[in-house]
Amino acid sequence: MKQKEINSSRMPVYRDAGFELFNAELTAEAFRKETENNREPDNYIYSRYRNPTVVSAEEEIMKLEGCDWALLTQSGMSAIDTALSVFQNGKESRPWLFFSEIYGGSISFVESILKKRRGLDIHYFMPADGEYDLKKLEVMVSSLKPELIYIESVSNPMLIVTDVPSVVKIAKKHGCRVILDNTFATPFLYKPLNDGVDLVIHSVTKYFSGHGNISAGVICGNNDMLMRSAVEYRKFVGHMLSPDDAYRLETQIKTFKLRFKSQCENASALAELLNSHPAVERVWYPGMKGHATHSIAKKLFSGKGYGGMITFDLKGKGKTEKGKKRDRFISHVSEHIKLIPTLGDPHTILMPVESVWGAKYPEPGMIRLSIGFEEYSDILDTITMALNKL
């Protein structure tokens, strides 16, 4: 069949591994221009380099983050790898500084890949009493002189909100770059590039795709040179997202704001309920006045919400009783709230903190909830019933 234009309103899925280049002259031109590493090429060559369906989905993310470019990858981890690679200069590399309260997989990547295999000089900055002391950060940065600082806008599972503008100020003063994982806050609450962050990454697997059925990541930025470097790394390492996933993402991301708004509202209401329930020892939610970083969250998120994640600890006499109560709670809610190790799904899901974080958070009564966008009364009824039974 001869190719013809179809009057579809959507970008189709282009599954071509390689694209037709017709003659030697066009081939030479396409390959010459490919080395410029622009986000969108004049002529597509090979889907590992660039793919039109992926480019189209990237444009949806650019609108959300309000940025000049976005590059999709096949997981959040590959987005992190790509973003970090931009600042890796072989033997010239200066130390890198990571905030310690970041996603556990990112810590494992730092330890097993960046330190052990690539021999990078990595340091951690730890919080005290649930928040980061930025005076201590300034002292550390001025003596270490790191190439980059790696942070998350909202940490996991204690939901520590980072004072990003202050971190950026310290970083810029000492000539270092900032990479920020914005998965938990999302651009609905906060757009870090506006505060001078150099690169923003997301696990698109979470709120952007929002249905627990796509693994993807994205790197967002405004600086053209950083984009070219990231495009080159994605191409050579092969971190490109598949066109099928890009197509599904482009469809699902159109409802992101509606979904996330509702998840924030449900979470705010539920955090209050948990906080007042006699079976609950403590609740961590940045929207609550008692949270160590509530005032930072208030400033950063400008009242738009406080996210869809809640962590809480069940009451109990000692660790054994707390562990038993946790198991009973999980079993009581299991019909409606499943134990699934991800977040940002349509339905509320949970994770037992100690089973995942082990010695870092050895509290058997602690549970992390990822609140969904189902009817609030469904979540309320399920949680109240399970807590009352304890």
Instruction: Sort strands 280-284 and 96-99 into parallel, antiparallel or unpaired.
Output: unpaired
103 binds ligand PLP (CB under 6 A): yes
Least distance to ligand PLP, CB of residue 184, Å: 6
Cβ closest to ligand PLP, residue 144 vs residue 148:
148
82 binds ligand PLP (CB under 6 A): no
Cα distances (Å, whole numbers) of residue 260 to 59, 189, 324, 345, 371: 19, 9, 33, 10, 10
CB-based contact 266:371 (threshold 8 Å)? yes
Cα(105)–Cα(222) distance, integer angstroms: 26
Tokens of 274: 């948990």
The interface region with ligand PLP, picked from 70-78, 113-121, 316-324, 326-334 by CB under 6 A, is 70-78
CB-based contact 126:100 (threshold 8 Å)? yes
Among residues 51, 75, 222, 348, which is the contact residue for ligand PLP, using CB under 6 A? 75
**Residue numbers 217-236 binding ligand PLP by CB under 6 A:** 217
The interface region with ligand PLP, picked from 74-82, 135-143, 251-259, 295-303 by CB under 6 A, is 74-82
The interface region with ligand PLP, picked from 72-80, 88-96, 170-178, 264-272 by CB under 6 A, is 72-80
Cβ closest to ligand PLP, residue 159 vs residue 333:
159
Least distance to ligand PLP, CB of residue 156, Å: 6
The interface region with ligand PLP, picked from 13-21, 75-83, 158-166, 186-194 by CB under 6 A, is 75-83
77 binds ligand PLP (CB under 6 A): yes
Residue from 287, 284, 285, 307 nearest 295 by CA: 287
153 binds ligand PLP (CB under 6 A): no
Cβ closest to ligand PLP, residue 156 vs residue 293:
156
Least distance to ligand PLP, CB of residue 150, Å: 11
Among residues 203, 293, 311, 348, which is the contact residue for ligand PLP, using CB under 6 A? 203
Least distance to ligand PLP, CB of residue 87, Å: 18
76 binds ligand PLP (CB under 6 A): yes
Tokens of 217: 């990541």
Q: Which position's Cβ is nearest ligand PLP? A: 76
Cβ closest to ligand PLP, residue 303 vs residue 341:
341
284 binds ligand PLP (CB under 6 A): no
Q: Tell me which residues touch ligand PLP (CB under 6 A).
A: 75-77, 103, 105, 152, 156, 181, 183-184, 203, 205, 215, 217
